[in-house]
Amino acid sequence: MLSVRNLAVGFQTRRGFVSAVRKLDLSLDKGEILGIVGESGSGKSVSSYALLRVLDAGGSITAGEIHYSGMDLRAISEKDMRDIRGREISMIFQNPRAALNPIRTVGSQIEDVLRRHAQASSQNAREKAIEALQAVKINDAEKRYHAYPFELSGGMCQRVVIAIALACNPQLLIADEPTTGLDITTQKAVMDLVRDLIRERGMSSILITHDLGLAAQYCDRIMVMKDGEIVEQGEPTSLFSQPSHRYTRKLVDATPREGDSIRALLPPEARTPEPARSLSTDILLDVQDLTKTYQGKSGPVQAVKGISLQIAKGQSVGLVGESGSGKSTTAEMLVRLLDPSSGSIVFNGQDIAGIAADDFARHPLRSDIQMVFQDATDSLNPRHTARQTLAEPLKRLGRLRKRELGSRIEELADLVGLPNHLLNRFPHQLSGGQKARVGIARAIALEPSLLILDEPTAALDVSIQAVVLNLLVDLRARLGMSYLFVSHDLHVVRLLCDHVVVMKGGEIVESADADSLMSNPQHPYTRELLSAAPSPPERRISARV
């Protein structure tokens, strides 16, 4: 149905022509779901934009052929192409909220497509739009018809994007990271919905994702892309059991799966034995009945409803929950950036809940509780070099002077595996993984006894996530720190934590030893979280340690 031969795509940039995709060959049969997997910069999204000829400014197809149902998509006019888009080939995008026009009701946006492709007249457009909303299983579709995107949740918005894409019954659906940024249970719901709709209507689909596990679960065939080229393709099970390309093997390894140790995420040659560490029974942090109430527009909103948890010295506790569960609010209160409404936070025998967040910055305990933030890019000052970023806490809280400062910074860089020559670079000159290292180095600069990690790997590619998680394991053993690891991903949390706390709606629903929680979840919500995570096929190759 779709065949692409020798496709090359490039971008005209200020620094000259950059080739994004090279020699892409691809064929898709009717009813087939093809997965294209790759990390950021691999050219997977660009290839899909090229198929529909919706490349960003400066981008162009430089070579190759695209044939769809006997039509040459490179040769036909822009006008004919517009008829094909949405009618024959549709697309859904990542970040669904941004993918919808913020100031137009979702109903009108669906109607626009229906009427453009003559699927509805002005009389029955409304009716058809509501039908399209019902098809993507939106409750109360008649009411949602009048909603603006900002009034809907992320998962709801993605359903609307799907409704727009499928409104005119296209034959091919291209899904570009359709679940990035969505909660794991929402991801499952959205992906199941997409799969069912595709099967129901006998459509073909291309799923573009960075998540090998997700692709394996939903696709008939997977292509792995790296630096603009396809490095390997095959059926999910064979790809997982016998990855032939080095890069595929690395990706397969880095995808967390049940039962494996954290070192198994790394390529075999990097799997050093896990360092030993000492766990004590002394309580480092004791949180009792912590609450946080915000003053919302329509009355008070209770974000955290009285939670209690303990962290022992050297222990790592995982705090798991989806967006809106109150996990980030809890983390911010514990790191004393936010004042709790009530409850106590006893750290090393001292209640620090009563110290105002503003005063805590000058408190001697400040250097003992540090945080690694979610977005490595946004949490670094863009005008500070890595060296200046690391110097800040050392100067302010550590009171280090010139020579000491310089040697300590280099020591820290060594500790997190950041080459010394990168210290004089600005954040935009560093890669995602390097920025994550700077963020971690800044947090451990003062040798805190408690490190709070707020989804430190959420924005990273899996292979880099594997490296960063292992770095955290090494640092923990070396510095004897306790971790509070905040995440939405139980599989990642399990790798790093001794104890796991599951939060939902501002309350703790389950709190247990990591292994027993994974093997024998008690609360239905925990079970839901576990089953929603994509489970990659078993890897049959021996994990060479």
Partner 1 sequence: MVTAITSRQCRAVLGRLAQTVPVLFGVVVISFLLTRALPGDPAAYFAGAAADADSIEQVRESLGLDKPLPQQFLIYLGDLARGDLGQSISTGQPVASDLASRLPASLELTLMALLLSCCLSIPLGVMAAMRPGSAIDHLCRVVVTAGVSLPTFFTGILLIYIFYYLLGIAPSPLGRLDFIYLEPDRITGFYLIDAAIARDWETWTGALKQLILPAITLALFTLAPIARMTRAAMLTALSSDFIRTARAAGLTERKVLFVYAFRNALLPVVTTLGMVFSFTLGANVLVEKVFAWPGIGSYAVEALVVSDYAAVQGFVLAMAVLFVLLNLCIDLLYTAIDPRIGFDAQ
**Coil vs helix vs strand at 203:** coil
CB of residue 203 vs partner 1: minimum separation in angstroms? 16
Provide the angle, in degrees to the nearest 10, between the axes of the packed helices 462-479 and 432-444: 20
Binding string, residues 283-322; x marks residues near partner 1 by CB under 8 A: --------------x-------------------------
170-189 positions binding partner 1, by CB under 8 A:
none
Binding partner 1 by CB under 8 A: which of 67, 74, 116, 277? Answer: 116
How many residues bind to partner 1 according to rule CB under 8 A?
32
**Would you say 220 and 227 are in contact if contact means Cβ atoms under 8 Å apart?**
no
Report the residue number, 94 or 449, with the smaller CB distance to partner 1. Answer: 94
| Residue 37 makes contact with partner 1 by CB under 8 A | no
Q: For residues 49 and 7, what is the distance between their CA atoms, to the nearest angstrom?
A: 12
Q: For residues 273 and 180, what is the distance between their CA atoms, to the nearest angstrom?
A: 33
Q: For residues 365 and 316, what is the distance between their CA atoms, to the nearest angstrom?
A: 20
Cα distance from N-terminal residue to C-terminal residue, the chain: 44
**Coil vs helix vs strand at 147:** coil
| Residue 85 makes contact with partner 1 by CB under 8 A | yes
Q: For residues 265 and 255, what is the distance between their CA atoms, to the nearest angstrom?
A: 7
**Coil vs helix vs strand at 325:** coil
CB of residue 98 vs partner 1: minimum separation in angstroms? 4
Binding partner 1 by CB under 8 A: which of 33, 138, 161, 312? Answer: 161
| Residue 532 makes contact with partner 1 by CB under 8 A | no
Burial class (CB in 10 A: 0-12, 13-18, 19+), 410: middle
| Residue 84 makes contact with partner 1 by CB under 8 A | yes
CB of residue 58 vs partner 1: minimum separation in angstroms? 11
| Residue 83 makes contact with partner 1 by CB under 8 A | yes
Q: For residues 277 and 315, what is the distance between their CA atoms, to the nearest angstrom?
A: 10
Burial class (CB in 10 A: 0-12, 13-18, 19+), 359: exposed
CB of residue 149 vs partner 1: minimum separation in angstroms? 9
463-522 positions binding partner 1, by CB under 8 A:
none
CB of residue 77 vs partner 1: minimum separation in angstroms? 13
Binding partner 1 by CB under 8 A: which of 90, 248, 330, 463? Answer: 90
Report the residue number, 15 or 403, with the smaller CB distance to partner 1. Answer: 15
Binding string, residues 96-115; x marks residues near partner 1 by CB under 8 A: --xxxxxxx-------xx--
| Residue 13 makes contact with partner 1 by CB under 8 A | no
Give the DSSP letter of residue 488.
S
Tokens 């720190």, residue located: 481
CB of residue 15 vs partner 1: minimum separation in angstroms? 16
Report the residue number, 47 or 526, with the smaller CB distance to partner 1. Answer: 47
- The pair of structure tokens assigned to 183 is 């909660």
CB of residue 494 vs partner 1: minimum separation in angstroms? 34
Helix, strand counts (H, E) of the chain = 20, 20
Report the residue number, 108 or 134, with the smaller CB distance to partner 1. Answer: 108
CB of residue 59 vs partner 1: minimum separation in angstroms? 12
In terms of Cα–Cα distance, which of 65, 74, 59 is closest to 17? Answer: 59
Report the residue number, 28 or 161, with the smaller CB distance to partner 1. Answer: 161
Helix (H) or strand (E) holding 223: strand 221-226
Stretch that binds partner 1, among 4-12, 94-102, 298-306, 508-516 (CB under 8 A): 94-102
Report the residue number, 83 or 410, with the smaller CB distance to partner 1. Answer: 83
| Residue 156 makes contact with partner 1 by CB under 8 A | no
Burial class (CB in 10 A: 0-12, 13-18, 19+), 472: buried
Report the residue number, 55 or 283, with the smaller CB distance to partner 1. Answer: 55
- The pair of structure tokens assigned to 293 is 């109430």
135-154 positions binding partner 1, by CB under 8 A:
148, 150
**Coil vs helix vs strand at 11:** strand
HSE of 279 in the Cβ direction (CA atoms, 13 Å)?
A: 9
Stretch that binds partner 1, among 48-56, 248-256, 320-328, 353-361 (CB under 8 A): 48-56
Binding partner 1 by CB under 8 A: which of 62, 95, 341, 522? Answer: 95
Q: What stretches of 275-426 show up as alpha helix (H) in DSSP?
A: 327-334, 357-360, 386-396, 402-416
Rg of the chain in Å (alpha carbons)? 25
- The pair of structure tokens assigned to 488 is 């939405």
Report the residue number, 98 or 270, with the smaller CB distance to partner 1. Answer: 98
| Residue 93 makes contact with partner 1 by CB under 8 A | yes
Report the residue number, 161 or 484, with the smaller CB distance to partner 1. Answer: 161
| Residue 91 makes contact with partner 1 by CB under 8 A | yes
117-136 positions binding partner 1, by CB under 8 A:
117
The dihedral built from the CA positions of residue 498, 502, 507 and 508, taken in this order, carries a sign that is negative
CB of residue 346 vs partner 1: minimum separation in angstroms? 39
Which pairing describes strands 33-37 and 499-504: parallel, antiparallel, or unpaired? unpaired
Residues in touch with partner 1 (CB under 8 A): 49, 52, 54, 56-57, 82-87, 90-91, 93, 95, 98-104, 112-113, 116-117, 148, 150, 161, 164-165, 297
